[in-house]
Amino acid sequence: MAKVFKEEQEKCSIIATYYAIEKDANLEPDKDLDLKSVFTEVYPNMPEDWYVTFLNQAQAIKDKIGDNNWKYGWYDGSQGWASGIMPNNKVSYIMGAIWNVFTDKQKKVFGGQKDSWNTADVFVVNTQKEAQILKFVKELQSEFQDFVAPEIFIGTLNAYLSKLVRDNDLIPLSLKKQTKNAPVRVKETNVDDVPVEGLTPFDGEFLAKPYSYFDIVNRASKLNFVGNSLFYKASFQVGSYPYFYQIEQRLQGNSSKAEVKDLVVKGKKGKRGPADAQTGNVPMPQFKALVKEYTGEDYDYNIPAIGSKIDAKYWSNYLTSIYSKAKSNFDFGKFTIFGKTYTPKEFMEFAIRLDNLSDEKIKILYKMNKNAFSAKLRNKLRHLRTIKAYLKAQENNELSQFLMVVYFRAAKMNITDEDLVSPFLKVSS
């Protein structure tokens, strides 16, 4: 598996911001060789597209926050991470320090994950306000320590952080790789209060037929499906702002993952295509809750562990029912197995028989390896449950709401005044 260079990329982004603001660096490629030298020290073998991303991120951030008496921080950074790159008096650790003020009970609200509270990668803070900010947070904690509900402290803290962002005193920054031929923009997220009644989306629609192909093939001597993802492109609108995105629900291990990407305008022709960077993954507990809200069924109901038998009657009837309702606006493929076409009921019964066969039997009968077929079949069952949720949302005239929830959860954007993701600025194409 290829190494993920997230650490190096985040460091380079905040270093570029420091150079842009403090040293007035030339942010055209190869114009500031001192900056490029620092990049290559931090990120050896840095790809050209990431080099350009760092420069353009820094320019966009500088244009947004201006020249201030800033200190610069990496959210995951431990003491001394910027040694030899930035003076110690220009480096801050305040975001990590604020998270450390949280009690165990307060951290548990976010599953113990600081990124679930604030999705920032890096940040800047007003040097003159840094100590004051941390002092206030600690005092706030002492005032609320007698409250049972941790959400009270978190909500109050988030409101304070929103004011800091508006006042240009503490700016958490969430970074996304620049998409080629698309400009870098900086967008405030969770800074303004969500209406008590929540957000009201409208004009939600699929931009093309969603699909999950239910065809079984021999792929490179392995038992497989033609495609293993549930995929759609969609749009909706909140207020005057339209959103365009795609989602791919695919296998991760023996479970599933829902990856969202913005559809951004690329190049001079104005066509939309997927951003190079993910908007984010929908947290699976929230995705499962959404599916259950519309289906009335647990996401994993009647989907047994690998090695246990699947209920053939239940799932053949389930597929038949879903297909009869969704065949006109959803692409299931042709229900072929090794080139022969079956009815949905026959297809599912055959697929489950294949699942019940041992690896050795599959090799003998079909001259191929069973490989990860059992995990992929169970993923297809989860697709069916998700499709049922789409159908219910459409039936209830709530497709706009469904599409918004999926996108906002992936983007860590608050939907109601009860949501507790803290404010940040998203730096992306």
> In the chain, what percentage of residues exceed pLDDT 70?
97
pLDDT band at residue 392 using 50, 70 and 90 as cut-offs: very high
pLDDT tens-place string over residues 38-78:
999 999 999 999 999 999 999 999 999 998 899 999 999 99
pLDDT band at residue 194 using 50, 70 and 90 as cut-offs: confident
pLDDT band at residue 181 using 50, 70 and 90 as cut-offs: confident
Sheet bearing 340-341, strands edge to edge: 222-225, 216-219, 336-337, 340-341
Nearest to 141 by CA among 191, 179, 98, 176: 98
Distance between CA atoms of 116 and 413, rounded to whole angstroms?
Answer: 11
Average pLDDT rounded to a whole number, residues 69-91: 95
Distance between CA atoms of 272 and 265, rounded to whole angstroms?
Answer: 4
Sheet bearing 170-175, strands edge to edge: 70-74, 122-126, 170-175, 424-428, 185-189
Average pLDDT rounded to a whole number, residues 192-205: 87
Contact 261, 279 (CB under 8 A): yes
Lowest mean pLDDT among 196-200, 278-282, 351-355: 196-200
pLDDT band at residue 315 using 50, 70 and 90 as cut-offs: very high
Nearest to 56 by CA among 33, 27, 82: 27
Q: Tell me: pLDDT of 202 over 90.
A: yes
Average pLDDT rounded to a whole number, residues 375-393: 96
Distance between CA atoms of 181 and 70, rounded to whole angstroms?
Answer: 30
**Chain-wide mean pLDDT for the chain?**
93
- pLDDT value at residue 1: 43
- pLDDT value at residue 4: 64
pLDDT tens-place string over residues 116-156:
999 999 999 999 999 999 999 999 999 887 666 899 999 99
pLDDT band at residue 378 using 50, 70 and 90 as cut-offs: very high
Average pLDDT rounded to a whole number, residues 77-84: 93
pLDDT tens-place string over residues 226-241:
999 999 999 999 988 8
Q: Tell me: pLDDT of 386 over 50.
A: yes
**Structural domain boundaries of the chain?**
6-190+420-428, 201-410
β-pair partners for 336: 341
Global pTM value: 0.87
- pLDDT value at residue 148: 67
Q: Which comes out higher in pLDDT, residue 68 or 205?
A: 205
pLDDT band at residue 268 using 50, 70 and 90 as cut-offs: low
Per-residue tokens: 129: 């306000």
Per-residue tokens: 421: 């993701």
Per-residue tokens: 299: 């996401």
